[in-house]
Amino acid sequence: MLVSELEEVSTIEAFANSGAHCRREVVQASLRKHIDVLVVDDNQLIADTTSAILNQLGFRTITAYDGGTALRMAAESSPDILLSDVMMPILNGVELAISVRKILPETAVLLFTGQTATDDIFEDARRKGYFFEILNKPIHPDELVSRLNRLRRN
């Protein structure tokens, strides 16, 4: 199911507003060590908003709006974590994650999706031996920060 533009904007605004009110312990945990996160979403507003919130919480982010650019950026910057939307044209988030894992096996991967029609994509990745953590959109900043911190500790 696709989200209407109005719903998408209200989701983004809610996410941005809640980012300013993250629990203190979640924010403090993210500030202990800089974590470099490559944020990828073909929706520039979502990618930029997510990056801005993570930057405010002490993460260092690099932002890309497509899988091909993200793959080049990953190879150049070796991020600690790849945070990518799944449904993107040309190179989807799962294909991107597999490619990043091949060149940067230490990079953790967290995928997010707002669509339910992604089961086939994940099943194909599992058959190839790739398992990725998945979050559903909309993502509350507390949950996102908690997952990012947990991924980096592993």
pLDDT band at 128, cuts 50/70/90? Answer: confident
Percent of all residues in the chain with a pLDDT value above 70, rounded to a whole number: 73
82 in Cβ contact with 130 (< 8 Å): no
pLDDT recorded at residue 67: 96
Provide the residue range defining the domain that includes 37: 5-153
Structure tokens at 56: 């405010």
The domain that holds 79 is classified in CATH as 3.40.50.2300
Whether the per-residue pLDDT at 107 is higher than 80: the answer is yes
Q: Give the Å distances, CA to CA, from 140 to 15, 23, 40, 84, 89.
A: 6, 11, 17, 15, 25
Whether the per-residue pLDDT at 4 is higher than 50: the answer is no
pLDDT in tens, 80-102: 999 999 989 889 999 999 999 99
In total, how many domains does the chain have?
A: 1
Sheet holding 60-64, edge to edge: 60-64, 36-40, 81-85, 108-113, 133-136
**Average pLDDT of the chain, as a whole number:** 80
pLDDT recorded at residue 6: 43
pLDDT band at 154, cuts 50/70/90? Answer: low
